Each structure stands twice: as C-alpha cells, then as structure tokens.
C-alpha cells in the first residue's frame, strides 16, 4: 500500500509580511528624522558661524578706523544711522605756526615725518569740537600746497596766508583728507571713504541706532559704543563693543 506524501509550500505568512513592513516603516522614519535633524544642526551651525565671522570683521574694521580718527571729528548723521569721522593721514610736531597776534603767513615749520606728501592734504591744529573739523569758517583747517622736505625741520606752504585759531598745548599738527562713513542701510553695514563708496562690511543686522558717541572727559578720550545685532535662519548674535579714540588734540 503506497503512503501519500504532502509537499509543504515555502513562503511568508501575512502576519510576517505585515511585521516586516511595520519594522521597515519605523526604520525609515528614524533614519529620515536623523538626517533631518543632522541637516538642521549643520545649517544652524553654519549660519551662526557666518554671523560671528561677519560681526567680527565689521567690529575689527571699525576698531582700526575709529582708533585712527582725528580727535573730536566723530559725529552721528542720518538719524544716528551713520557714524562719520575724519581719519588721520599723518601727524607731526610743529615748531612754528602763525597765531594771533602774529602776522598771517602761508608757511609753517614742522618736524620731519615719513608719509609721502599729497597735494590734497589739509592741515589742522587743536580741534576741540566737530565744528572745528567740518566748519570752514572756524579757521582751523587749511589746505596744503607744498612741502620742502630738507633736514630735520620741514617747511610747509599752505594755499593761503592764514592765522590759526589757537595753538595746541602739545604742538601737534594733523594732516587730513576727506572723511570715512559707516552707515546702516537696509540691514547692511556699508563703508564709504574718499576712494570707494558703499563697501559692504556686514549684513543681516536687525537692530537700529547701532552707534553712540561718548564725549571726552578729563579721565579718558572720546568713546564710540557699537551695538550690532545679527540674525539669520532664527540664529541671533549680538555684539556690544566700545572703541576709544586714541589720539588727543
């Protein structure tokens, strides 16, 4: 008598298939979340680094420029959105300038210096206020025509015969030519000087009134306070910096 043999068919049951599908779905969700959060962290870190780099560059450039500013030349313009000042090209000690009650003259004598003379320079002595720098009627800013650079004492010829308003206690004479201006416009910080205009210094700045000038006192020179708040991709970086004007009249 022959015994009948039943062949078992191999495969997955419906429950096994459903279990595998659920496990794959959980794994896919976990991997997607991991990639998403990893990408988000990278994006936020990159944005923060960009903000910090931009802020440091702008603040460092401001530090260098303001520290070389002519004493008492810093002013705020455009509803306190712009910081304007006159940079110093060169400074020296004068030995003789025409001051009341002396006779007007177009020659002054100074100790030699290293900078190469430019006919666009102007000379100024003892600026005590911003009007001394920007008001042509104050008698403190005078155009330079030429310099005779011989020996240790040089002779400077001015455009016209003048009388300086008063002498400097330290006999300091400054040479200047034009101004530098930092302006906050449309969330960007721009720099303008006599050579180039609207050079981008920083962007993504969200605060207003970024500049504040503290007048000089008997204990310290003038101070400039810088307040810059940067924001990008919900990342915020705030820089508060004080810059002291190193030069004195």
pLDDT single digits (tens) 12-53? 677 777 887 888 778 777 777 767 666 666 566 676 777 778
User: Distances from the Cα of 55 to the Cαs of 5, 23, 59, 68, 77, in angstroms?
Assistant: 84, 48, 6, 20, 22
DSSP string covering 49-84: HHHHHHHHHHHHHHHHHHHTBPTT--EEETTTTEEE
For all residues of the chain together, what is the average pLDDT? Answer: 85
Distance CA 235, CA 247 (A): 38
Distance CA 21, CA 18 (A): 5
Domain ranges of the chain: 48-84+179-244, 88-176
- pLDDT-derived band at 166, boundaries 50, 70, 90: confident
**Predicted local distance difference test score (pLDDT) of residue 8:** 55
pLDDT single digits (tens) 100-150? 888 999 999 999 988 788 888 999 999 989 999 998 777 789 999 999 888
Quickly tell me which residue has 């530090």 as its tokens.
63
Strands 122-125 and 105-111: unpaired
| Both structure tokens of 87 | 């940079």
What's the angle, vertex CA 185, arms to CA 184 and CA 189, rounded to 5?
Answer: 45
Distance CA 46, CA 48 (A): 5
Phi, psi at 225, each rounded to 5°: -100, 130
**Predicted local distance difference test score (pLDDT) of residue 239:** 85
Q: Is the pLDDT of residue 230 over 60?
A: yes
Phi, psi at 45, each rounded to 5°: -65, -40
Q: Is the pLDDT of residue 7 over 70?
A: no
Longest dimension (CA), the chain: 148
Average pLDDT over residues 90-97: 93
* Lowest-confidence pick of 40-54, 60-74, 234-248: 40-54
């Amino acid at each position: 008598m022959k015994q009948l043999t039943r062949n078992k068919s191999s495969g997955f049951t419906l429950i096994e298939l459903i279990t595998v599908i659920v496990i794959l779905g959980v794994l896919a969700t976990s991997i997607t979340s991991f990639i998403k959060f990893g990408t988000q962290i990278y994006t936020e870190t990159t944005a923060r680094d960009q903000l910090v780099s931009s802020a440091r560059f702008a603040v460092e450039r401001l530090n260098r420029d303001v520290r070389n500013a002519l004493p008492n030349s810093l002013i705020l313009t455009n509803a306190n959105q712009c910081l304007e000042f006159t940079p110093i090209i060169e400074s020296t000690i004068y030995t003789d300038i025409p001051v009341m009650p002396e006779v007007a003259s177009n020659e002054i004598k100074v100790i030699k210096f290293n900078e190469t003379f430019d006919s666009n320079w102007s000379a100024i002595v003892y600026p005590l206020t911003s009007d001394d720098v920007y008001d042509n009627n104050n008698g403190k800013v005078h155009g330079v025509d030429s310099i005779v650079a011989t020996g240790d004492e040089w002779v400077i010829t001015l455009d016209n015969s003048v009388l300086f308003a008063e002498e400097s206690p330290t006999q300091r004479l400054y040479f200047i030519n034009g101004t530098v201006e930092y302006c906050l416009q449309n969330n960007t910080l721009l720099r303008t000087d006599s050579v180039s205009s609207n050079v981008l210094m920083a962007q993504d700045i969200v605060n207003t009134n970024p500049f504040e000038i503290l007048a000089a006192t008997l204990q310290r020179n003038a101070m400039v306070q810088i307040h810059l708040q940067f924001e990008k991709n919900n990342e915020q970086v705030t820089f508060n910096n004080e810059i002291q004007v190193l030069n004195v009249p």
